[in-house]
Amino acid sequence: MTELITGLLQESISGIALGCIYALIALGFTLIYKATEVVNFAQGEIMMVGAYINFFFVTQFAGMTGGLNGWVFLAALFCSIIFAVLFGIILDYIINRPLKDEPVFSIIMATISLAIILRSLTAMIAGPISLIPVSPFGDSTIKMGGIVISILDLAIIISAIILMALFFFFFNKTRWGIAMKATSEDSEAAQLMGIPVKQVYRMVWVFAAIVGVISGVLLAPRMALLDTTMSYLGLKAFPAAILGGFGSIPGAVVGGIILGIIETVSMGTLSFHFEWIKEINDIIIWIVLIAVLMFRPDGLMGEAKVKRV
């Protein structure tokens, strides 16, 4: 019995790490949806591009300095974030601006096309062979009680918390952050205040690209192989966002983390004890998704919409 419990605890921590990544993907997705009402199906591809770009910088810097060390990873992360800023600006120009007031259907088709283009372009540039991702922490672990935690998981959790705290601060305490919230509530009224709505949209896309790229950077070392199919994990932003409450930023975070835990735990110890869980592991989160849509369509943190007219 204690074995089961320590197993569950250990997997929960690993699940939280995976969940933090889902949360970041869902966060980028929700940011864009909330502010511009664009449903961005390419968020997973942004993440994948981020993982590739970071890999590229890591190998370049490692080649230049003659070895992998902490500075190489930091410098690569820094360059990846700069890339993300440019990437976000470009996406704003080619997707958001021309499609802003088009019907939802056109926007969905455009972002799906963007997803396919990004996937193909990455495969073209990086070549068809899967890469072997490198982790700045290797396989090192720490032991706490009977639980073994990988340093990488811990680093993922800490980075995600820092990133989310920064976002929280930005959205609630700064002039531009509040302007972003105001714009997503009522863009015309925001325009009447003199808030430069177009600049706000651009900023939203840049932010989404930054969290997307960082989620890719964090996810890659957890994977055995790095290839373009990684982007399909981005689709899990949907169950995460819906579980938490579509359009709610804290909801996206909570939903993502819950999803990560469910997935990891059901894949691990539980599947040793209950054979049937293994069989449904791949579809379990989609079952959760349908159940949420059926019984609690507003999600866990979805706000009941109160409007006074």
Partner 1 sequence: MLKLVGVETFYGKIKALHGVSLSVEEGQLVCILGANGAGKTTILKTICGITEPEYGTIHFNDERIDHKDPEDIIKMGISLVPENRRIFPELSVYENLMMGGFLIKEKELFEERIERVTSHFPILSKRGSQRAGTLSGGEQQMLAIGRALMLDPKLLLLDEPSLGLSPKLVKEIFTIIKDLHKSGVTILLVEQNVNHALRIADYGYVLTTGKIFLSGTYEELLDEEKVREQYLGEGKYVRRSKLWSGR
**Interface mask (CB under 8 A) for partner 1, residues 187-216, using x and -?**
-xxxxxxxxx--------------------
User: Residues 102, 185, 279, 282: which binds partner 1 (CB under 8 A)?
Assistant: 185
User: Any alpha helices (H) in the chain, and if so which ranges?
Assistant: 2-36, 43-65, 70-91, 97-99, 104-126, 151-173, 175-185, 187-192, 197-219, 237-244, 249-267, 269-273, 275-280, 284-295
> Does 179 help bind partner 1 (rule: CB under 8 A)?
yes
Q: Considering the complex, what minimum distance in angstroms separates the CB of residue 194 from partner 1?
A: 4
Quick check: 200 and 190 in contact, CB under 8 A?
yes
Q: Considering the complex, what minimum distance in angstroms separates the CB of residue 237 from partner 1?
A: 23
CB under 8 Å to 204, separation ≥6 — which residues?
A: 31, 32, 35, 36, 180
Q: What is the dihedral of CA 104, 106, 251, 53, to 10 degrees?
A: -160
> Does 171 help bind partner 1 (rule: CB under 8 A)?
no
| Number of other residues whose CB lies within 10 A of the CB of residue 169 | 11
**Interface mask (CB under 8 A) for partner 1, residues 125-164, using x and -?**
----------------------------------------
> Does 97 help bind partner 1 (rule: CB under 8 A)?
no
User: Residues 100, 181, 222, 278: which binds partner 1 (CB under 8 A)?
Assistant: 181
> Does 37 help bind partner 1 (rule: CB under 8 A)?
no
Q: What is the dihedral of CA 209, 24, 184, 309, to 10 degrees?
A: 170
Q: Considering the complex, what minimum distance in angstroms separates the CB of residue 308 from partner 1?
A: 6
> Does 307 help bind partner 1 (rule: CB under 8 A)?
yes
Of 143 and 307, nearer to partner 1 (C-beta) is 307
Phi, psi of 142 (to 5 degrees): -125, 155
Quick check: 300 and 26 in contact, CB under 8 A?
no
> Does 301 help bind partner 1 (rule: CB under 8 A)?
no
- Residues lying near partner 1 in the complex (CB under 8 A) are found at 175, 178-179, 181-182, 185-186, 188-196, 306-309
